[in-house]
C-alpha cells in the first residue's frame, strides 16, 4: 500500500541547534516533493518544493534533500529559533501530479 | 505567494442543519481548488477537487450529496456540509495551486456540530 511516513513523535531541540525532520514514502514515484509548515488552527504554509532530479534545495535557514533511491526526504532548519516551533508536513504529487498527498506531520518544539 | 481567503474561520451548528464555507482566491484566478479535511493530530485528507464551471471530482469514500461543492467563478469555491452530524465536526481547509504546483491554503474552518 502507499504510505507517507513522518515521525509521529514530537521533536524537541534546543535553540540554535539544527532540526532534522524525515519523510519516507513507499509505493509512490513522485516527480515533486514539498514541505509545509502548519501552526495550530491554521492552514499549512508552503515552504519548499524539490524535484526528483534535484538532490538538495535551500531557502534561507531551510534545506531539503530528496533521495529517490531511498524514497526519503530530509528537512533541515539550521540555527533554530522558538518561532520555528510548528508542525511540518511533507507532501507528494500523486495521481499524475494533479493531487497533493500529505504525511501526518512532525511537531517541532524549539526550546530556549 | 498567492492569497487564499477562507470564511468563516469557525462555526458551530446544530445537528441536521447545513453549513456553507467559502474559499476565495484574492489576487489570482483559480480554475481548480481543493478541499481537505483534517482531524486532530492527523494528516490532511483530500475530499474533492473543485473545477470552475463543472462538477467537482470527489475522492473515494466522500459523499458528494453530503458535501456539496460549487465553483461558480474563477475566484470562489464553496463547500456546503448538508445535514451536518457531530461526526462531521472537523477542520476544513481549501487550497489553490500555484504555477509550480505548490498549494496555497486558506486559513481553515473549524466546524463543530452539536
**pLDDT tens, A50-98?**
998 998 999 999 999 999 999 999 999 999 999 999 999 999 987 666 7
Whether B110 contacts chain A with CB within 8 A: yes
Q: Is the pLDDT of residue B1 over 80?
A: no
pLDDT at A97: 64
Closest Cα of chain A to B6: distance in Å? 10
Cross-chain CB nearest to B101 (options A4, A43, A93)? A93
Q: Chain A residues with CB inside 8 Å of B104's CB?
A: 46
- In B19-78, the residues whose Cβ lies within 8 Å of chain A are 34, 41-44, 46, 49
pLDDT given at position B90: 97
Predicted pLDDT at A85: 98
Asked whether residue B52 carries a pLDDT value surpassing 90, the answer given is no
Q: Is 80 exceeded by the pLDDT of residue A107?
A: yes
Looking at the DSSP bridge assignments, the partners of residue B95 are B34, B105
Cα pseudo-dihedral A74, A49, A78, A26, rounded to 10: -10
B92 touches chain A (CB under 8 A): no
Per-residue pLDDT band for A48 (boundaries 50, 70, 90) equals very high
| B1, B43, B95: residue with CB nearest A105 | B43
Q: In this complex, which of A32, A43, A102 lies closest to B43 when CB atoms are compared?
A: A102
The residue among A3, A1, A2, A5 whose CA lies nearest residue A106 is A5
Judge whether residue B36 has pLDDT over 90: yes
* Interchain proximity B107–A43, CB inside 8 Å: yes
CA dihedral B58, B62, B64, B69 (to 10 degrees): -60
Q: Rounded to the nearest 10 degrees, how much is the dihedral formed by the CA atoms of A101, A77, B91, B60?
A: 10
Q: Distance between CA A54 and CA A50 in Å, rounded?
A: 6
Choose the closest CB to A43 out of B100, B102, B108: B108
pLDDT at residue A14 in the model: 97
pLDDT 10s digits, B96-106: 988 888 899 99
Q: With an 8 Å Cβ cutoff, are A100 and B34 in contact?
A: yes
Across chain B, mean pLDDT equals 93
Amino acid at each position: 500500500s502507499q504510505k507517507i511516513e513522518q515521525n509521529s513523535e514530537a521533536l524537541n531541540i534546543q535553540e540554535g541547534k539544527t532540526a532534522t525532520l524525515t519523510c519516507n514514502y513507499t509505493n509512490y514515484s513522485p516527480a515533486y516533493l514539498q514541505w509545509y509548515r502548519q501552526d495550530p488552527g491554521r492552514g499549512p504554509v508552503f515552504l519548499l518544493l524539490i524535484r526528483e532530479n534535484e538532490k538538495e534545495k535551500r531557502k534561507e535557514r531551510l534545506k531539503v534533500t530528496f533521495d529517490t533511491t531511498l524514497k526519503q526526504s530530509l528537512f533541515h532548519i539550521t540555527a533554530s529559533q522558538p518561532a520555528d516551533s510548528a508542525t511540518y508536513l511533507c507532501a507528494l504529487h500523486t495521481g499524475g501530479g494533479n493531487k497533493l498527498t500529505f504525511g501526518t506531520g512532525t511537531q517541532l518544539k524549539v526550546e530556549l | 505567494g498567492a492569497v487564499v481567503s477562507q470564511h468563516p474561520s469557525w462555526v458551530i451548528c446544530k445537528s441536521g442543519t447545513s453549513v456553507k464555507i467559502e474559499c476565495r482566491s484574492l489576487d489570482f484566478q483559480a480554475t481548480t481548488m481543493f478541499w481537505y479535511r483534517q482531524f486532530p493530530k492527523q494528516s490532511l485528507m483530500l475530499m474533492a477537487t473543485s473545477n470552475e464551471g463543472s462538477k467537482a471530482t470527489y475522492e473515494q469514500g466522500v459523499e458528494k450529496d453530503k458535501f456539496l461543492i460549487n465553483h461558480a467563478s474563477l475566484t470562489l469555491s464553496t463547500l456546503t456540509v448538508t445535514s451536518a452530524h457531530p461526526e462531521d465536526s472537523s477542520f476544513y481547509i481549501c487550497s489553490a495551486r500555484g504555477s509550480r504546483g505548490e498549494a496555497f491554503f486558506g486559513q481553515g474552518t473549524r466546524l463543530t456540530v452539536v
